[in-house]
Amino acid sequence: MIQAHIDQLRQSGSETGHVEFAEHMVRALTDGLSALDAPPRDDGFWRGWADDQATIGKLRDDATGRLDRDPSGREARWALGVRELGGGANDGGLSFLGPEIGADPTVVTDAVVIADRVVRQIGLAVTQELREACGHADRRTLEALAHTDGGRAASIAPRVLDGSPFVGA
């Protein structure tokens, strides 16, 4: 199951031309699984599970718990987002990226890639989800990023924030 999730992320990256982004998502997933696997098996988290194997399903519960305890937990937030992205969630995990964009506006590039993947591979409109995620960032910072090398994704964010639909990158 885990390898299938990783393979799906990589295939999606290849199909959409975002191979580097896909590898970033694979790292986020494996980091999240490593954090899940780290506590000893007598830790309270493991009570009630049929086995003590780290799985994608358990990752959701573990990362959600870690995020509840520490809302600024980047690793847990990325693990949840990539789980949604790889699992075909309607928003591709965008709902988890808003605080990340607020803390580091360059993450808007990842958000635009995710939105592009959802539009191109699933066929769903994610304008509102992208707008909400980008709304966590300082607009002036996004506009400044848009004028830098590689600022194409950042140039999309202000337009989406102004009400333009996102149709793909």
- Mean pLDDT within 5-19: 83
pLDDT at residue 68, rounded to an integer = 94
Same domain, 34 and 104: no
Same domain, 71 and 98: no
For residue 146, give its domain range: 91-169
Environment class of 48 (CB within 10 Å of its CB; exposed 0-12, middle 13-18, buried 19+) = exposed
- Mean pLDDT within 147-156: 79
Alpha-carbon separation of residue 22 from 29, 110, 117 (angstroms)? 10, 10, 11
Same domain, 5 and 70: yes
pLDDT at residue 40, rounded to an integer = 92
Same domain, 76 and 14: yes
Q: Which pLDDT tens digit goes with each residue over 80-131?
A: 988 888 777 778 888 888 899 999 888 898 899 889 888 887 778 888 999 9
Same domain, 12 and 81: yes
Environment class of 98 (CB within 10 Å of its CB; exposed 0-12, middle 13-18, buried 19+) = buried
Same domain, 41 and 109: no
Same domain, 71 and 128: no
pLDDT at residue 22, rounded to an integer = 87
Rounded distance, CA 169 to CA 152, Å? Answer: 9
Same domain, 105 and 154: yes
Rounded distance, CA 116 to CA 54, Å? Answer: 30
pLDDT band at 149 (very low <50, low <70, confident <90, very high): low
Domain boundary among 87, 104, 136: 87
Same domain, 1 and 83: yes
Structurally, the chain folds into a number of domains equal to 2
Q: Which pLDDT tens digit goes with each residue over 30-75?
A: 999 999 999 999 988 898 898 999 998 899 999 999 999 999 889 9
Sign (positive or negative) of CA dihedral 7, 9, 25, 49:
negative
Same domain, 83 and 106: no
Domain boundary among 52, 87, 122: 87
Alpha-carbon separation of residue 145 from 109, 137, 155 (angstroms)? 10, 11, 8
Rounded distance, CA 117 to CA 121, Å? Answer: 6
- Mean pLDDT within 138-153: 83
Rounded distance, CA 15 to CA 54, Å? Answer: 28
Same domain, 15 and 33: yes
Domain boundary among 87, 122, 146: 87
When computed from its CA atoms, the radius of gyration of the chain, rounded to whole angstroms, is: 16
Secondary structure (DSSP) of 83-146: HHHHHT-TTTTGGGTHHHHHH-GGGHHHHHHHHHHIIIII----HHHHHHHHTTS-HHHHHHHH
pLDDT at residue 33, rounded to an integer = 92
